Amino acid sequence: MKPTMPTLDEQDIALLQRIKRHPLLRARVESLLGVVEDAEGDLEKADAAERRGCFG
């Protein structure tokens, strides 16, 4: 079965266009998402992420 592409509404498209104009913000958002998606409630990882400066 062929995977389906997620559908994007106008708000999604507008946000993506705005983020693309700010590469540093995009990198920070990607970094934060990586931490959040990887942490899965693990407080040690969250503490390490905070120490690395990902949050705040």
Kindly indicate the confidence band of residue 35, based on its pLDDT and cuts at 50, 70 and 90.
Answer: confident
Give the predicted TM-score (pTM) of the model: 0.56
- What pLDDT does 9 receive? 93
Residue 40 lies in a domain: yes
Residue 42 lies in a domain: yes
**Average pLDDT over every residue of 12-18:** 95
Residue 39 lies in a domain: yes
In contact, 19 and 27? CB cutoff 8 Å: no
- What pLDDT does 37 receive? 74
- What pLDDT does 16 receive? 94
Tokens of 54: 């990902």
Residue 14 lies in a domain: no
Q: Which long-range contacts (CB under 8 A, 24 or more apart) does 28-33 make?
A: none
- What pLDDT does 24 receive? 96
Residue 27 lies in a domain: yes
Question: For the chain, how many structural domains are there in total?
Answer: 1
DSSP helix/strand/coil, 28:
helix
Domain that holds residue 54: 21-56
